[in-house]
Chains A and B, each alone.
Chain A
Amino acid sequence: MVDAIIVASSVQEVKESLSAVSSLGDVEVLFYGKNTDNAAEVAKLGVKVYVLKSQHPGALFNAVKKLYDEKKPKVIVGYGTKNNRDALSRLAGTYDLPMATDVIGVEFKDDHIIYKRGFLSERAIATEKIPYPAIILVNAKVFEPVQREGSGNIEEITIEEDSVKLLEIKPKQLSGINLEDAEIIVGVGRGFKKKEDLELAFKLAELLGGQVGASRPIAADYKWLPEDAWIGISGKRVAPKLYIAVGISGAPQHMAGVNNSKIIVAINKDKSAPIFKLADYGVVADLYQFLPVLIKKLEEKKGK
């Protein structure tokens, strides 16, 4: 009897999902997409692994449905990646299963599940209750990844795609920066008037050994930075020890992506900007005047 099936496309997703369902019994994993070469690493966590070497969303849906039909798990769990949401929302619609997304805490009781998630664009936390069987999609970096040694079987499954054709895969222009792992992040927002001015932020980040991230307008609308630099609800969620928000007003959609930072610094010329209430340290100043001074002071310190 399988209690939970994890649907994942990376080893990290499996480790964190395993942690989320640690109070349940037998767990199996559907491992799909482009990282399936790492299936052995997943099996070493002591779980049975079904490998689907496809990233076609229809194939993933068919695979998830097949496993669900065969195993009748109590819970299907994974990250809220776009492919997971696509396939699992269809499974939810097929069987009228409850589906909780963006989950930041979950308790598996005898006859129901209680979970917590962001609500009202992260201005509130919702606690809700659903019966089994259910789909639970967790936020990244919320559950401590499990570390354990074991050995599980690997079984490759082949499955039909649905009627939707994948014609072409096009790369996105990406920076390749792994913001999730950065210890210091300088976040840039609409306070910057033109793309060239971001140089100031890059210089600051370089001095601090950090990376540059951005709010939605900079990364998604103006495209001054690649999309993988976008921090927020629909972008990345980061948890550096230091987040320096420069020219960022503090919209909840952005702050939801940085709330787990240890220390938040805000630099903004508008003293009524909401960011100052959401930061540990605030500097009310024009970034164009303050950043050069801050950079100079840091250089002096480094020079010593």
Chain B
Amino acid sequence: MGDIVVLVKPSLNPDMTRSKPDGTVDLDAIPLKLDDIDANALEAAKELKNTLGGKIIALLLLPWGPVQKRTRELKMVTQEALARGADEAYIVSDEKLLPGDPIITATVLSNAIKKYAPNASLVLVAEASIDQTTGQIAGRVAAKLGLPFISYARKITINGDKIVAERDVEDHIEVMEASLPAVVSVTQEINEPRPPTLLQIRRAGKKPQKTLSAADVEPIPERKKEPVEYKILTVSRKQIIIEGDTLEEIAEKLIEALEKEGVL
């Protein structure tokens, strides 16, 4: 049967958001991490690997620069993807592709899949990333590869040359069936990713990985998204801590305050 490609995003870690004195986001100072739901996608790949009989290929693209500064972080994300079950990794890293634009990202990833994973029978993608949360890469890649697409899968089973997935829509579940090869986006509910063991981490270093430049994944489309400004969100709440000698007193003061606000 075939290989499983997992798209892995080195995302800006929102928990480490840094700002400049003028209140804008200091993008270069925020470290990258393996995106949260990518861990679920890798776990899902591990579970399906035996059924499909191939290997797991992690495909990464650096979306945030500068390349020089990100080299070490990118290496760590790659190591983690390999420790989490990928058998080999391809990493696209090139100043020409920065900053990430979904049009460029999806095209580059699709080109890389065609060229470096020709035997892929399944492409797994997280439903969205933690930094941009646009959730559009999976659908774009499916369209570019001309493959069947199932989005928001929270359960996947392989049935011969078909995949059956439970698609999680807002108020119901749709059981969908597609022929392989297919592109599937997964939600965080699909599994509970196991943290890699020490042995898996050690082995990861010995697994094959190849860094690609823009020239390896051409043609590259024209960039369409231009950043104007990234500003830190400031919330202006009153932040009043209600204190008192007893809980009764605090409760009374709270009720009084809420009545004054006209919300009770």
Show the binding face of A for B, using Cβ within 8 Å: 55, 57-58, 80-83, 85-94, 96-102, 114, 118-131, 162-172, 174, 184, 208, 220, 228, 233-234, 241-242, 252, 255, 259, 262-265, 271, 276-285, 289-290, 293-294, 296-298, 301
Contact = CB atoms under 8 A, between A and B. Distances in A.
A99 B136 contact: yes
Given A96-B107, A102-B134, 18 more contacts: A55-B169, A57-B149, A85-B135, A86-B151, A91-B143, A120-B25, A120-B130, A130-B224, A164-B182, A171-B173, A174-B171, A234-B188, A263-B261, A277-B237, A278-B237, A281-B241, A290-B250, A290-B251
B141 A93 contact: yes
B233 A125 contact: yes
B133 A102 contact: yes
A289 B246 CA distance: 11
B208 interface: no
Interface residues of B, number: 79
A92 B238 CA distance: 42
B227 interface: yes
Given A120-B131, A265-B258, A297-B248, A164 B233 contact: no
A119 B142 contact: no
B241 A276 contact: yes
Contact of A166 (B12, B175, B229): B175
A290 B242 CA distance: 12
16 contacts: A85-B136, A86-B151, A92-B140, A101-B133, A119-B25, A119-B131, A120-B14, A121-B131, A125-B230, A163-B148, A164-B149, A171-B173, A242-B264, A277-B239, A281-B238, A281-B241
A87 B135 CA distance: 12
A130 B106 CA distance: 17
Contact of A89 (B138, B179, B237, B263): B138
A108 to B, nearest CB: 15
B164 A167 contact: yes
A128 B227 contact: yes
A281 B242 contact: yes
B175 A167 contact: yes
Contact of A124 (B17, B144, B173, B252): B17
Contacts of B175: 166-170
B47 interface: no
A128 B230 CA distance: 9
Contacts of B188: 220, 234
B131 A130 contact: no
B143 A94 contact: yes
Interface of B: 12, 14, 17, 25, 30, 102-103, 106-107, 128, 130-144, 148-152, 164, 166-179, 182, 188-189, 221-222, 224-233, 235, 237-242, 247-248, 250-252, 254-255, 257-258, 261, 263-264
Main secondary structure of the interface of A (DSSP, over half): mixed
A114 B261 CA distance: 36
Q: Which of A55, A90, A241 has the most CB of B within 10 A?
A: A90
A271 to B, nearest CB: 8
B237 A264 contact: yes
B248 A93 contact: no
B237 A242 contact: no
B106 A166 contact: no
A169 B247 CA distance: 49
Nearest to A262: B263
A164 B255 contact: no
B151 A129 contact: no
Given A124-B233, A125-B231, A293-B247, A98 B14 contact: no
B243 to A, nearest CB: 8
